[in-house]
Amino acid sequence: MIPIAKPLVGDEEKRAVADVLSSGMLASGPKVKEFEERFAKYVGVKYAVATSSGTTALHLALLSLGIGKGDEVIVPSFSFIATANAILFCGAKPVFCDIDPKTYNIDTDKIEKLITNRTKAILPVHLYGQPADLKPIMEIAEKHNLYVIGDAAQAHGAEYDGKKIGSFGDVECFSFYPTKNMTTGEGGMITTNSKDIAEMARSLENHGREKTQWGYEHMRLGYNYRMTDMEAAIGIEQLKKLDRFNDARIKNARFYDEELEEVEGIVTPYVMENAKHVYHQYTIRVKRKKREKLIEIFKKKGIGYGIYYPKPLHFYPHLRKFAHEDLKNSENVADEVISIPVHPGLKEEDLVLIVDAIREGVR
């Protein structure tokens, strides 16, 4: 069986966790601090705050900007469910924007007409590892005085105009779930250049704690969204390997690009000229009937695959009330995408087997 995703954890991670366990300092300690400092440096920002997951990173990012009841956040209608849920956690309203069917990211031409006097932020997702088209997003945000919160749960190490994702906008959110480009088991990270946002996120993730003249006091409603030192120790080792992991993903993607380009009925991933795509997923597009045939063959041959995502967000029961007319691209794309294994654990013979299976499937 060739899995669709496979975390690569080596002796370095095992040793690092064992060291933390021996140290007796298991919750947020020196490893969390070190991981935050290394991650901020890698991304090229002043501050990073480690969290318990990508979902809690998104929730904290929104809360740290003061987004709450009555506020609207513009978000693509094609993403993982957590992107929209985090907006609901705050009591705010997700305003769905359609996607560009070429990049699968938010269609920047459709953002402005969704802006109302309640809009507080734009929340682009860098889906599958390709950056959203940030230049027009930043321009729209500036013109209308909106925050930009990025969902980089799939885009560790991706770049836009030669700069790392995580260094654009007001705040960026990462996930370290085992299927992502790097992992800590469960875990997440917020990156920002704003001291205020970083301090607020740090307080909110730790029961609203703040240092006062009396010591630590609970100054606001907060949560426990902290990362543990075991997780951070894994993260430090994974971060050292991230560029290598991404290089392997890109190399696998290039192989697929070349082999699948001429195969009729298959649309390979489009990459923007000014973007470094890090292929959290290698996602192809085929007509629905052919997708069913492909799935049959993948199952027969023991090839893992994933449909990310089978539905646009506004098709889910608790999000249906936010649906509107102009979301057709996300609806069509959901019927036609299928992701094939691209992770760094693949061998050349796996890639060949997968390409042969696809050729057979679309014949």
Applying CB under 6 A, does 39 fall inside the site for ligand PLP? no
Q: Are 134 and 275 in contact (CB under 8 A)?
A: no
Q: Which C-beta is closer to ligand PLP: that of 157 or that of 188?
A: 188
Applying CB under 6 A, does 153 fall inside the site for ligand PLP? yes
Cis previous bond, 309, omega within 30: yes
Backbone angles phi and psi of 209, in degrees to 5: -75, 145
Q: Which C-beta is closer to ligand PLP: that of 79 or that of 252?
A: 79
Smallest CA-to-CA distance from 251 within 283, 294, 282 is with 282
Applying CB under 6 A, does 53 fall inside the site for ligand PLP? yes
Stretch that binds ligand PLP, among 48-56, 67-75, 113-121, 267-275 (CB under 6 A): 48-56
- Convert 17-51 into a string of H (helix), E (strand) and C (coil): HHHHHHHCCCCCCHHHHHHHHHHHHHHCCCEEEEE
**Sheet of 163-164, strand order:** 163-164, 159-160, 275-276
Q: Which C-beta is closer to ligand PLP: that of 42 or that of 176?
A: 176
- Applying CB under 6 A, among 71, 72, 98, 151 the residue interacting with ligand PLP is 151
Stretch that binds ligand PLP, among 50-58, 70-78, 231-239, 291-299 (CB under 6 A): 50-58
The conformational region for residue 79 under phi > 0 = left, psi -120 to 50 = alpha, else beta, is beta
Applying CB under 6 A, does 225 fall inside the site for ligand PLP? no
What residues numbered 76-105 form the site for ligand PLP, per CB under 6 A?
A: 79-80, 82-83
Residues 6+ apart with CB under 8 A from 277: 128, 129, 130, 131, 158, 250, 253, 269, 271
- Interface with ligand PLP: number of residues (CB under 6 A): 14
Applying CB under 6 A, does 168 fall inside the site for ligand PLP? no
- Applying CB under 6 A, among 150, 188, 269, 312 the residue interacting with ligand PLP is 188
Q: Which C-beta is closer to ligand PLP: that of 129 or that of 222?
A: 129
Question: Nearest 5 degrees, angle CA 222-CA 228-CA 234?
Answer: 140
Question: Nearest 5 degrees, angle CA 52-CA 245-CA 50?
Answer: 20
The interface mask with ligand PLP, positions 9-38, x = CB under 6 A, is: ------------------------------
Stretch that binds ligand PLP, among 51-59, 158-166, 205-213, 218-226 (CB under 6 A): 51-59
- Applying CB under 6 A, among 35, 160, 177, 309 the residue interacting with ligand PLP is 177
Chain centroid offset of residue 122 CA: 15
Tokens of 163: 């700069």
Backbone angles phi and psi of 120, in degrees to 5: -115, -30
Stretch that binds ligand PLP, among 38-46, 49-57, 212-220, 333-341 (CB under 6 A): 49-57
Residue type, 67: I
Site residues (CB under 6 A) for ligand PLP?
53-55, 79-80, 82-83, 125, 151, 153-154, 175, 177, 188
